[in-house]
Structure 1
Amino acid sequence: MAGRTAAILIDAGYVWKQVAKAVGRQHRREVPLIGYGVPLIEALVEEAEGDELRVLRTYWYDGAPDRVPNVQQRAVGRVNRVKLRVGSMSNGRQKGVDRLIQRDILALSQNKAVTDLVVLTGDQDMEEELDAAGQHGLVVHLWGIADRDQRDQISSRLLRVVDDWKVLPAHWASTFVPETDTDNDPSSDVPLTSDSQVDHFRSTLLSTSSNHDHAAPSDDALGSAWGDDQLISVGRAAHDALVEQYGPAWESVRGEIASTTFRTRGGETVRSIPGRYDTELMDTADAIVGDHLTENAHRVLVRNGFWRRFDEADSPA
């Protein structure tokens, strides 16, 4: 197998569902993946390399409302040699993702960009494309993930057209789920989503502000009632929310922010957050506040809070 190159195609819906079942849950949304799947992707690459395959690229297929990726999905797409493919979402189910996978299988087969395909999916609709890939001379590997009862949900129709297959055990999959979500603790039924993170930071700020001289803002006037200190705290909280959402990918994001921080304006050196991260920061701050922070002075205070928290990570404990 020396000298062989591979592309890994990952159906996130299938993987997430099987990981959830590996820890005794039934639905993907009940279980968060550590780092939104970045460590899992890295482990799959290592698994392929252990089979003497040099991974050229990994494709991660997921769904999002209106096909607009969220912060976590964009973090996956920023990982080196990972391509994010986004279909739509309807009633919590992916739509159009199978067509994206089919398109890439055909393109990789026709272009002969790789010698091997590693595919993680339970969708039997891939049968024709995987068969065609084999006819184009590619070696096709079908991988599955076992649930707690050692069922892999691999389609028998797909098994007929691939060259080989393997099933990754449930204990392997469970390592990508936070420990609090691998037991039967009812409190772990709440998924770690950006919404719950925002609610947590928001309630924390409100309770903190009620202990100070100024009153906590009401839900009806959050955007205008925050004081300077509160808005700085919002910026700090938004920083922490982004760190949690990016997971392990934050280190590379942090490095990019740090390396493009300074610019000269009229002879003065100032700090500037790269545009796409500034947008995510402000979107998160808006969610925490519960309103749009349109005034520039408010947004400056949020950025100041972000930088204070950003700098603290470099300071000795």
Structure 2
Amino acid sequence: MRSTCSLYVDAGYLLASAATRVTGTSLRGGIHVEYPPLIRTLIDTAETLSGLPALRVHWYDSARNGVPDTQQERIGELSKVKLRLGRFGVNGEQKGVDLRMGLDLVAHARNGASDVFFLVSGDDDLAEAVEEAQVHGIQVVLLAVPTLAGKPHGVSRHLIRAADELDSIDGAAIDAAVLKVDRKPEPEPEHALITPQPTPRPAPHQVVAAAPRPAVRTPLDLASTISP
């Protein structure tokens, strides 16, 4: 059987670390990922470092009820990619991903699937599985996403001690495949048009007719009213 290398990719770690590098936050919603070139970068990195052809990329991610969405189905259809899905917990956290990765590392090591395993993860919980794989003569190399300063992002020190080697994925290749999403500000709600009402004019003052002045009687008038 020919010598090969295999990759085990924690998509949660890879995408969160890449998002942090590109946008400053780990939210997946802030990035657009070109998966074929990103996965090609992982394969090229593993083959260059090991000098061996890649047997397969095992891609671990979470899905609602373990059912792949459209993007995950497309990833699983890529050449040399094996989709391995956990599920989401009540609070949206990954469930079953680390367990699947650990079990696969040990089982594949026992079966001698490849000579070198490349692990793209930073989770401390995988340290025991790494050490068990090494018992079966497998070399385990960590592949980390580099920060802008060139340091490995989010990799447990315990996991680093357990692995045989720590290397980084090419930062420029990550920047080319993981793009920041520029979110447009939401439009302000349109206010209902209010028809201006005419300003009421004050009622005109009523003109009160002046009371007639009493007629002024002269002595001649008084004399005419006296009967003879």
- TM interval, short-chain normalised: 0.7 to 0.9
What is the aligned partner in structure 2 of residue 126 from structure 1? Answer: 126
**Relative to 1, partners in 2 of residues 1:10 and 1:62: Cα closer, same or farther, differing over 3 Å?**
same
Q: Which amino acid aligns with 1:141?
A: V
Q: Which amino acid aligns with 1:174?
A: D
What is the aligned partner in structure 2 of residue 174 from structure 1? Answer: 175
> Cα distance, 1:89 vs. partner?
1.4
Q: Which amino acid aligns with 2:176?
A: T
> Cα distance, 1:169 vs. partner?
4.7
What is the aligned partner in structure 2 of residue 56 from structure 1? Answer: 55
What is the aligned partner in structure 1 of residue 24 from structure 2? Answer: 25
**Relative to 1, partners in 2 of residues 1:148 and 1:30: Cα closer, same or farther, differing over 3 Å?**
farther
**Relative to 1, partners in 2 of residues 1:148 and 1:186: Cα closer, same or farther, differing over 3 Å?**
farther
Check the 8 A contact 1:22/1:171 in 2, yes or no: no
The within-5 A match list for 1:231-270 is: none
- After superposition, the C-alpha distances for 1:202-243 in whole angstroms (9 at most, x for unaligned) are xxxxxxxxxxxxxxxxxxxxxxxxxxxxxxxxxxxxxxxxxx
Partner of 1:53: helix, strand, or coil?
A: coil
- After superposition, the C-alpha distances for 1:124-155 in whole angstroms (9 at most, x for unaligned) are 10011101111110011111001234442111
State TM-score, norm by structure 1: 0.54
2:92 paired with 1:92: yes
- After superposition, the C-alpha distances for 1:285-314 in whole angstroms (9 at most, x for unaligned) are xxxxxxxxxxxxxxxxxxxxxxxxxxxxxx
2:166 paired with 1:165: yes
Partner of 2:53: helix, strand, or coil?
A: strand
CA RMSD of aligned residues (A): 2.0
Q: Distance in 2 between matches of 1:60 and 1:86?
A: 8
**What residue ranges of structure 1 are gaps of 5+ in the alignment?**
191-317
What is the aligned partner in structure 2 of residue 12 from structure 1? Answer: 11
Q: Distance in 1 between matches of 2:104 and 2:166?
A: 20
**What residue ranges of structure 2 are gaps of 5+ in the alignment?**
187-228
Partner of 1:22: helix, strand, or coil?
A: helix
> Cα distance, 1:49 vs. partner?
1.7
Check the 8 A contact 1:22/1:148 in 2, yes or no: yes
**Relative to 1, partners in 2 of residues 1:166 and 1:149: Cα closer, same or farther, differing over 3 Å?**
same
Check the 8 A contact 1:21/1:148 in 2, yes or no: no
Out of 146-155 and 82-91, give the one that drifted further. 146-155
Ranked by relative contact order (alpha carbons within 8 Å, sequence separation 6 or more), the top structure is: 2
- After superposition, the C-alpha distances for 1:41-83 in whole angstroms (9 at most, x for unaligned) are 1111111122212111110000011111001101111112210
Q: Distance in 2 between matches of 1:186 and 1:74?
A: 26
Partner of 2:40: helix, strand, or coil?
A: helix
Aligned residue-pair number: 182
State TM-score, norm by structure 2: 0.74
Partner of 1:166: helix, strand, or coil?
A: strand
Identity of aligned residues (%): 31
Partner of 1:147: helix, strand, or coil?
A: coil
Q: Distance in 2 between matches of 1:170 and 1:34?
A: 14
2:38 paired with 1:40: yes
- After superposition, the C-alpha distances for 1:158-207 in whole angstroms (9 at most, x for unaligned) are 111211110225433211123xx17xx553x99xxxxxxxxxxxxxxxxx
**Relative to 1, partners in 2 of residues 1:38 and 1:78: Cα closer, same or farther, differing over 3 Å?**
same
What is the aligned partner in structure 1 of residue 140 from structure 2? Answer: 140
